[in-house]
């Protein structure tokens, strides 16, 4: 869905279209695709193309990567263990990741240190007396403005990341009680359940073999 924008000061505003806000936030979170092994923030050219396709001004690549790290952590990206191995799906003991580099592999985003400051503003048209609009100058600012709007509207908690370690796809939970866990129950949910069942069966067989 196209993102609305205002001509005022060449800034981009989000004026009540929740679908547009959700789309922009999810698109940014999913600039890294674990399943396909791609990462828009691996190269400046890819990042600039992503921003320009949405009529947004790209931030420096390192700032965009830091912003994505922070936002994915805020949504609840599952953690990796201290030895670098994938953590258990759905774990709540931390946040994970390592952003892709210009020539590196895509990966999970590690939380940056210190606060992340994203400049946003408020546009007020004293002539038309339209409702004030949150606005931002850059792509990252636009994403965070959209996220802030979702938080104000009480829908931010519906933005989630699939806990399957080989997926980690961001999605919007449209269930009535916000109980959805997986991006796709038929794919990731069943796959993790099958893996857990195999692990338990293997452990049970090992125990019987030991005591047999």
**What is the dihedral angle through the alpha carbons of 113, 145, 157, 116, rounded to the nearest 10 degrees?**
10
Which pLDDT value is given to residue 113? 54
Residues 6+ apart with CB under 8 A from 6: 12, 13, 15, 123, 133, 135
pTM, to two decimals: 0.69
User: In terms of Cα–Cα distance, which of 89, 118, 98, 123 is closest to 41?
Assistant: 98
Which pLDDT value is given to residue 114? 62
Query: How far apart, in Å, are the Cα atoms of 194 and each of 91, 142, 188, 197, 201?
Result: 18, 40, 10, 5, 10
Rounded Cα gap, residues 58 and 138, in angstroms: 6
User: What pLDDT tens digit does each residue of the chain (212 aa) get?
Assistant: 333 333 333 333 334 467 889 999 999 999 999 989 999 999 999 999 999 999 999 999 999 999 999 999 999 887 654 443 444 433 333 333 344 445 444 445 554 556 777 777 777 777 777 677 777 889 999 999 999 889 988 999 999 999 888 889 999 998 888 888 888 766 685 665 665 545 566 555 455 555 55
Which pLDDT value is given to residue 8? 30
Rounded Cα gap, residues 84 and 98, in angstroms: 11
């Amino acid at each position: 869905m196209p993102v609305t924008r205002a001509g005022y000061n060449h800034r981009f505003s989000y004026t009540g279209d929740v679908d547009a806000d959700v789309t922009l936030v999810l698109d940014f979170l999913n600039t890294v695709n674990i399943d396909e092994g791609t990462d828009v923030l691996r190269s400046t050219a890819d990042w600039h193309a992503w921003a320009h396709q949405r009529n947004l001004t790209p931030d420096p690549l390192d700032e965009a990567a830091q912003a994505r790290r922070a936002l994915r952590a805020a949504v609840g990206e599952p953690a990796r263990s201290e030895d670098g191995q994938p953590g258990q799906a759905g774990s709540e003991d931390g946040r994970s990741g390592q952003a892709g580099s210009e020539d590196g592999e895509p990966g999970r985003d590690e939380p940056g240190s210190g606060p992340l400051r994203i400049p946003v503003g408020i546009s007020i048209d004293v002539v038309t007396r339209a409702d004030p609009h949150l606005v931002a100058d850059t792509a990252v600012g636009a994403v965070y403005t959209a996220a802030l709007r979702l938080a104000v509207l009480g829908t931010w908690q519906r933005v989630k990341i699939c806990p399957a370690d080989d997926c980690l796809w961001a999605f919007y939970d449209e269930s009535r009680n916000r109980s959805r866990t997986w991006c796709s129950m038929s794919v990731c949910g069943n796959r993790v359940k099958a893996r857990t069942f195999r692990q338990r069966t293997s452990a049970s067989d090992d125990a019987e073999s030991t005591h047999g």
